[in-house]
Amino acid sequence: MRTQIAAANWKMNLTLPQAEALLQQLIEAPIQLHEHQQVVLAVPAPYLHRMVQLLNGKPGFQVAAQNCYAQKSGAFTGETSVEMLVSIGVTHVVIGHSERREYFLESNQLLAQKVSIALEYGLTPIFCCGEPLAIREANTQNEWVAKQLQESLYHMSADQLKKVVIAYEPIWAIGTGKTASSEQAQDIHAFIRSQLSHQYGASLAAEIPVLYGGSVKASNAAELFHQTDVDGGLVGGASLQAVEFTAIIQALK
């Protein structure tokens, strides 16, 4: 079975004491992960090292950065390199979240560079793709997502792609309370897998975890996650509540 992942994106939320309290609640929650299941916590940059320390190698739990820079080092004030992230025990990095694309104008080409450097240093990229409302209403979401995959991922070898997690996030459903139906989620996840299959072969495409992100909560997680091609979720607001996120983790198949 493909790796099933409950990924939390805390975004720009919580003070350090609040973050520590939330993590402690998750550590103490009745969560029993199977070998094919993971919990990945994408926390604000100032808290990365502290969260790694608090987890203390807890099986199945990993810490992710919410972003990284596309260069190894240098005069880039305010940025964080992948080498820095690896040095403090971070294992994953979210790349291409819709908020980075929209607010910081990150292009598919820039994201391709970030994916490459993350892999070079052994970080697992959680690569985000997905369409805005206008594209969905025009029913051209497949073409939109296909271009994102092509321009940001297809420069990689098959061996490199095996180390990537993809997160599909319908931008119109992020933080809006709207959620793609389980059928809509399955349809686009199956399309993403078909595109990977066309480029890299069916065997490899069947190995890549594809997560759903967009107003995932305890009440809809099980239905979403049990779709054939949905391998968990990238969870925003609901991940800030220990009870809610615990239920989402428990919904993994």
Q: Which residue of the set 99, 106, 131, 169 is catalytic?
A: 169
189 is catalytic: no
Q: Which residue of the set 92, 97, 99, 106 is catalytic?
A: 97
97 is catalytic: yes
15: pLDDT strictly greater than 80:
yes
CA distance 223 to 240: 21
Average pLDDT of span 179-195 = 93
Model-level pTM greater than 0.85?
Answer: yes
> 115 with 95: CB under 8 angstroms?
yes
Distances (CA, A) of 161 to 40, 130, 204: 19, 19, 8
Architecture (CATH level 2) of domain 4-250: Alpha-Beta Barrel (3.20)
pLDDT digits (tens, 9 = 90+) for 169-186: 988 777 677 777 899 999
